[in-house]
Amino acid sequence: MAIRMIVIDPDEVLHKTAKAVSVVTPNVKKLLDDMADTMYDAEGVGLAAPQVGILKRLIVIDADEEHGLIKMINPEIVSTEGEQLGPEGCLSIPGINGDVRRAETVTVRGLDREGKEITITGSGLLARAFQHEIDHLNGVLFTDIAEKIYEMTADETEE
């Protein structure tokens, strides 16, 4: 596995739409593994392929103990329920947080790293992470939709 360089806004790749993955190849599996390593190294809870400079519809998320590490290919939100307003940050936008309104619960369908269809329903932080990472695949950053944006203090960035 390898740690990849995280692309920082305003890099144009973060504002483009990622392409669907048509075949799950060994390179796709390696990229998913590298993305997970990169996410953990950066102490994040999610990462999308555009954040490592690759315009493919791939995400990795580790936002709750129930689901653990999720590696998903071509994820799409198939249903939403409720609403939450809360803080978000992004590995591609260091030092900035924002209050973003999201669905409280989402159901997401896609493929696992073996190419098998999976459907996951998550609430709270997992739902927020799914929506945030899928937005990345569509060239949308949390700062594009935040109701309020603020800089993190030095204490917050050290936590």
pLDDT in tens, 84-136: 999 999 999 999 999 999 999 999 999 999 999 999 999 999 999 999 999 99
**Contact of 41 with 23, CB cutoff 8 Å:** no
**Contact of 58 with 72, CB cutoff 8 Å:** yes
Percent of the chain at pLDDT above 90?
Answer: 94
Q: Given a cut of 70, is residue 158 above it in pLDDT?
A: no
Residue with tokens 């392929």: 49
- What would the mean pLDDT of 46-57 be, rounded to a whole number? 98
- Token code pair at residue 136: 């990345």
CA nearest to 7, candidates 21, 18, 19, 20: 18
Percent of the chain at pLDDT above 70?
Answer: 96
Q: What are the residue boundaries of the structural domains of the chain, listed by start?
A: 12-158
Asked about 133 being catalytic, the answer comes back as yes
* This prediction's pTM: 0.94
Consult the annotation and say whether 15 binds a ligand: no
Please tell me the CATH superfamily of domain 12-158, with its number.
Peptide deformylase (3.90.45.10)
pLDDT grade for 152, boundaries at 50, 70 and 90: confident
Q: Given a cut of 90, is residue 20 above it in pLDDT?
A: yes
Consult the annotation and say whether 90 binds a ligand: yes
DSSP run (H or E) holding 30: helix 26-41
Consult the annotation and say whether 136 binds a ligand: yes
Catalytic residue among 117, 133, 156, 158: 133
Q: Given a cut of 70, is residue 71 above it in pLDDT?
A: yes
pLDDT grade for 11, boundaries at 50, 70 and 90: very high
